[in-house]
A and B are shown apart, each in its own frame.
Chain A
Amino acid sequence: MATLKINGETKDFDAPDDMPLLWVLRDVLGMTGTKYGCGIAQCGACTVHLDGQPVRSCLLPVGEVRDRAITTIEGVGATAAGAKVQKAWLDLEVIQCGYCQSGQIMSAAALLAATPNPDDADIDAAMAGNICRCGTYVRIRAAIKRAASEA
């Protein structure tokens, strides 16, 4: 039995060290807000925060997490940047099919926490690894700027 710090809570789980964090979240702990997309860290759907940094949970062996703090889409609304991003997402109705959006929101929240007023180049650099099949990129960019303008 091992433990993880997820969204401020300590969770016990039983899984081998080489199981990807994403599997532990979804299949062992039942936290299905984080999505499985490509499984090779190339689409961004599985993005979570590790000590505030956006990481791809599909390739991250859970044994490497140790005592670092995990934030998932279920808990990001409790952070200042996460709350602003979620509100802007709703205000602008960013979502089309929605599958990639928990990952998009996690990357956007990490961006705003580090860079409160990002320009287009900052957004490109931070969001390039999050792919959206529906092509909501224009609304994602607008929502990030709107969230940034919410003081």
Chain B
Amino acid sequence: MSRKSRRILLGLAGVAVIVVVAGILILRGPGPMTFAAGAKVALADYRAADPTGVPPALAKASLVERGEYLARAADCMVCHTAPGGKEYAGGFAFKLPFGTLYSTNITPDRETGIGDYTDQQFLDALHRGVRRDGARLYPAMPFTSYTYITDADALAIKAYLFSLPPVRATPPRNTLAFPFDQRWAMTFWSVLFNSDERFRPDPAQSPEWNRGAYLAEALAHCGECHTPRNPAFALDNYDKFAGAVTAGWRAYNITSDKATGVGAWSDDDLVSYLTRGHAPGHGTASGPMGEAVDHSLGRLVPEDIRALVVYLRSVPPVASPDLPATLAPPAPASYRQGGNLADIRGRRVFEGACASCHSWTGQSPLTPFATLTGARAGNDSSAINVAQIVISGTRRHTPADALSMPAFGNIYSDVEIAAVANYVTARFGSKGSAITADDVAALRKQGSQ
């Protein structure tokens, strides 16, 4: 080979390396708090009130009590409890396109739980996605978010978990297809997509913002559902909080975009939605968000909720082009007007099963929780959440007298559910949907459990 051709080859190899590295960096994207342009500092160098830990009222509480608050804020229980199963004993199914993953038992049982975990092993799992036996965890466990939890807070959570009664329970075996069953491959994924760094406050922002950032990013892991994922299934923070479909439910746009995000919501509306899962004129949280409110957000102290609102407000607007910018007003009082009559079965189901609580106008005579007017789910022509709510109902626990909606998944066929979802979005939304029985069948499969 001549010197010249060798030089060309070397040049080409160099270009290839640069392209691959740039591609990886582009795919990796910004971190969850990169949008706030201020230089972040180590927690120890941050002069204002500590944004980590528990609220001041709990500062003198025992380690276990502090851990309980933090475990709630991190919402460990919902994913680590199977429906009807013992709390924290695992077995909750994550239905993925390539198989099913089951959550693990995190009670302190020595054989089937985490009773033998040392502090360091617990931190490795939470921060780095590494199990006690060295195997890699899948990112269904949101360790790329939990990695921002401080060591002190993580160990408080461990102390709380270790205070629970040990439960002997082994979750079912995962059924992931090749190559997704190769846990070792997650090593490379983690190197690329897990920052493995603790929360770094931003002194240019208010202490409230920093508390909100810690709650939203490290503990509550909002982005795990509300941020879309890149082709490698890692969070794509170019479109931070712009909404995504997770586990068959649509987590809506919660950026500060006025038309399709929450930019036009008042502070009171956001506080109400986060604490009660309902805000007047904005509908009611169902599915995974309903659970997040009932078990986690609804049990945080008011100043933490306000900090979350301050942080949410600062997230740059990203529009969801498929969502209508204006929400539909109340529907006509008579069944004769409104709704999609292309498939009469939609109206038939609605008049028999839905109208008695939701009324033809969408403004429930029973309770504001059942009012459809203004709800994003009805104003979404994918009708994903309308169909899911029909299939699985809404069972809420906050407040205690919140009305529940029965599950209709076993009562109506896919054809009927598609028809009523299309009727509901046409009647109560500003752009009707056109989903099919096949779409409903797919949604049933994706819904957790």
Contacts and interface: CB of A to CB of B under 8 A. Distances in A.
Interface of A: 16-18, 40-42, 44, 47, 50-51, 53-56, 59-61, 63-64, 121, 124-125, 128-129
Interface SS, B side: loop
A40 B360 CA distance: 19
Interface of B: 335-336, 348, 351-353, 355-357, 359-360, 365-367, 400-404, 406, 411
A37 B101 CA distance: 40
B365 A128 contact: no
Given A40-B406, A44-B356, A128-B352, A51 B401 contact: no
Contacts, number: 60
Contacts of A16: 400-401
B403 A59 contact: yes
A64 B348 CA distance: 28
A94 to B, nearest CB: 20
Contacts of B406: 40-42, 59
Given A42-B406, A64-B367, A124-B351, A55 B356 contact: yes
Contacts of A63: 401
A47 B335 CA distance: 20
A56 B367 contact: no
Nearest to A129: B356
A50 B357 contact: no
A58 to B, nearest CB: 10
Nearest to B335: A125
A128 B359 CA distance: 13
Nearest to B349: A128
Contact of B365 (A55, A61, A125): A55
A41 B359 CA distance: 13
A64 B401 contact: yes
26 contacts: A18-B400, A18-B401, A18-B402, A40-B406, A41-B356, A42-B406, A42-B411, A51-B365, A53-B365, A54-B356, A59-B366, A59-B403, A60-B366, A60-B403, A61-B401, A61-B402, A64-B401, A64-B403, A125-B355, A125-B360, A128-B348, A128-B352, A128-B355, A129-B351, A129-B352, A129-B353
Nearest to B347: A125
Nearest to B360: A125
Contacts of A56: 356-357
Contact of B357 (A17, A41, A124, A125): A41
A121 B334 CA distance: 11
B366 A128 contact: no
Contacts of B402: 18, 61
Contacts of B411: 42
Contacts of B403: 59-61, 64
Q: Which of A44, A50, A55, A61 has the most CB of B within 10 A?
A: A61
Contacts of B359: 53
A63 B357 CA distance: 16
Nearest to A52: B365
B382 to A, nearest CB: 27
Contacts of B351: 124-125, 128-129
Contacts of B400: 16-18
Given A40-B406, A56-B357, A17 B401 contact: yes
Contacts of A125: 335, 351, 355, 360
Contacts of A54: 356
A44 B357 CA distance: 11
B401 A42 contact: no
A61 B356 contact: no
B5 to A, nearest CB: 78
Interface centre among A47, A51, A128, by most B CB within 10 Å?
Answer: A128
Nearest to A19: B401
Nearest to B353: A42
A44 B352 CA distance: 9
Contacts of B348: 128
A60 B356 CA distance: 11
Nearest to A125: B335
Contacts of A42: 353, 406, 411
A61 to B, nearest CB: 4
Given A41-B406, A42-B406, A59-B357, A64 B366 contact: yes
Contacts of B353: 42, 129
A51 B365 CA distance: 9
Nearest to B350: A128
A64 B367 CA distance: 6
Nearest to A107: B356
Nearest to A17: B401
Nearest to B406: A40
Nearest to B348: A128
Q: Which of A16, A50, A60, A64 has the most CB of B within 10 A?
A: A64
Contacts of B366: 50, 55, 59-60, 64
